[in-house]
Copies of this chain bind each other. A is one copy, B any other.
Amino acid sequence: MMQLDDLLAKNSEWLKGEGPRSNIVISTRLRIARNIDGFSFPHWADNKVKEEIFEKIFSALRENIFLKESLFLRLKDVPAMDRDFLVERHLMSKEHAKDLEGKGLVVDSREIISIMVNEEDHLRSQVIMSGFNLAETWRMVDSLDTEIGKKLKYAYSSRFGYLTSCPTNTGTGLRASLMMHLPALEMTGQIENVYEAISKLGLTIRGFYGEGSEAEGNFYQISNQVSLGHSEIDILNGIEKVINKIIDREEETRRYLLDKKKRETTDGIFRSFGTLKNARIITSRELVKLLSSVRMGIDLKVIDGLRLQTVNEMLLFMQPAHLQKKHNVKLDSSERDIKRADLVREKLGEK
User: B279 touching A270 by the CB < 8 A rule?
Assistant: yes
CA of A276 to CA of B270 in the docked complex: distance in angstroms?
Answer: 10
> Looking at the complex, which of A94-102, A115-123, A175-183, A259-267 is the stretch in contact with chain B?
A259-267
Q: Mask for A275-303, Cβ within 8 A of B = 1, else 0? A: 11111110000000000000000000000
- Complex contacts, A273 vs chain B, CB 8 Å: 278
- Complex contacts, A274 vs chain B, CB 8 Å: 274-279
Taking the complex as formed, is A25 at the interface, i.e. its CB lies under 8 A from any CB of chain B? Answer: no
Taking the complex as formed, is A271 at the interface, i.e. its CB lies under 8 A from any CB of chain B? Answer: yes
CA of A276 to CA of B267 in the docked complex: distance in angstroms?
Answer: 11
User: B263 touching A338 by the CB < 8 A rule?
Assistant: yes
Chain B: which residue is nearest A276 at the CB level? B274
Taking the complex as formed, is A134 at the interface, i.e. its CB lies under 8 A from any CB of chain B? Answer: no
Taking the complex as formed, is A144 at the interface, i.e. its CB lies under 8 A from any CB of chain B? Answer: no
Taking the complex as formed, is A26 at the interface, i.e. its CB lies under 8 A from any CB of chain B? Answer: no
- Complex contacts, A341 vs chain B, CB 8 Å: 267
- Complex contacts, A281 vs chain B, CB 8 Å: 263-264, 267
- Complex contacts, A277 vs chain B, CB 8 Å: 274
CA of A275 to CA of B279 in the docked complex: distance in angstroms?
Answer: 10
User: B275 touching A271 by the CB < 8 A rule?
Assistant: yes
CA of A270 to CA of B273 in the docked complex: distance in angstroms?
Answer: 13
CA of A275 to CA of B277 in the docked complex: distance in angstroms?
Answer: 10
CA of A341 to CA of B264 in the docked complex: distance in angstroms?
Answer: 12
- Complex contacts, A280 vs chain B, CB 8 Å: 263, 266-267, 270
Chain B: which residue is nearest A262 at the CB level? B280
In the complex, which residues 220-277 of chain A have their Cβ closer than 8 Å to any Cβ of chain B?
263-264, 266-267, 270-271, 273-277
Chain B: which residue is nearest A338 at the CB level? B263
CA of A276 to CA of B278 in the docked complex: distance in angstroms?
Answer: 11
Q: Could you list 22 A-B pairs, sorted by A, with CB under 8 Å?
A: A263-B280, A263-B281, A263-B338, A264-B281, A267-B279, A267-B280, A267-B281, A267-B341, A270-B278, A270-B279, A270-B280, A271-B275, A271-B278, A271-B279, A273-B278, A274-B274, A274-B275, A274-B276, A274-B277, A274-B278, A274-B279, A275-B275
Nearest 4 pairs of A and B residues by beta carbon:
A274-B278, A274-B274, A267-B280, A270-B278
Known pairs A271-B279, A273-B278. 16 more at Cβ < 8 A?
A263-B280, A263-B281, A263-B338, A264-B281, A266-B280, A267-B279, A267-B281, A270-B278, A270-B279, A270-B280, A271-B275, A274-B275, A274-B276, A274-B277, A274-B278, A274-B279
